[in-house]
Structure 1
Amino acid sequence: MSGETTLFIAPDHPAFAGHFPGMPILPGVVLLDAAVHAVSQALGASASSPAICQISSAKFLSPVGPGETLSLSWTSSASGSVRFDIACGSRKIATGTLVVPLAP
């Protein structure tokens, strides 16, 4: 299974205020949280209760500034791993792998 969605972090998100003054960039944890929630919802978890998953790997390639619209693409495997890529246009932002527990 694979999918793609748009991620938008509001320019007034509180994480920008202190990270970093004068040149705000989105903290990686906020970016990963958005990716985990989007993939969890796509895989059937509810918005209020996303699937518990492990971040197996993550690599940040380019900073995200306020107001940027991002695209998240992902592909899941039968083993429960989900490979994801985040981009802003042609600029690669982040890539990684999540491990989502298989349903019993």
Structure 2
Amino acid sequence: MEYSEDCVIAASHPSLPGHFPGQPVVPGVVLLEQVLRVAARAGVAVPVLPQVKFIEPLLPAQPFTIHLRSDRSDRLRFECIREGRIIASGRLQTELP
């Protein structure tokens, strides 16, 4: 299974004013929340995130793509890609071990 979706975190998102004042950066938890929403739309039931790596920051209103792909029957890999560069990656565990 492979699935991709284009996304953007609006500059008006309520978490941004405090993260960081004057130079907002999308918090990692907001980015992961978007990954989980995309996974749900792809039909992945309530995954666990056993591995996540944040590589580069995401700024408000910057478009990015979330790409999901199976690497086992109970696991997906995800990548958040902005302008051809991976900004975050990890695994979604679809069943508890």
- Give TM-score scaled by structure 2 length: 0.90
Is the counterpart of residue 17 in structure 1 residue 11 in structure 2?
A: no
Kindly state the Cα deviation for residue 97 of structure 1 after the two structures are TM-superposed.
0.2
Kindly state the Cα deviation for residue 77 of structure 1 after the two structures are TM-superposed.
3.8
The 5 Å alignment of 1:48-87 reads: 51-87=45-81
- Distance, in Å, in 2 between the alignment partners of 1:92 and 1:78 is 21
| Corresponding pairs, count | 96
Which of 74-83 and 58-67 deviates more? 74-83
Partner of 2:32: 32
Kindly state the Cα deviation for residue 101 of structure 1 after the two structures are TM-superposed.
2.8
- Give TM-score scaled by structure 1 length: 0.85
- Distance, in Å, in 2 between the alignment partners of 1:78 and 1:92 is 21
The letter of the residue matching 2:15 is A
* Runs of at least 4 residues off by over 2 Å: none
Is the counterpart of residue 101 in structure 1 residue 58 in structure 2?
A: no
Partner of 1:2: 2
Q: CA RMSD in A?
A: 1.5
Q: Which runs of 5+ in 2 are unaligned?
A: none
Deviation per CA, 1:38-95, whole angstroms, max 9, x where unpaired?
0121126xxxxxx322101000000011110110111024431010000111222100
- Match of 1:63, SS state, is coil
Percent identical pairs in the alignment equals: 34
- Distance, in Å, in 2 between the alignment partners of 1:56 and 1:7 is 23
The letter of the residue matching 1:101 is E
The letter of the residue matching 1:73 is H
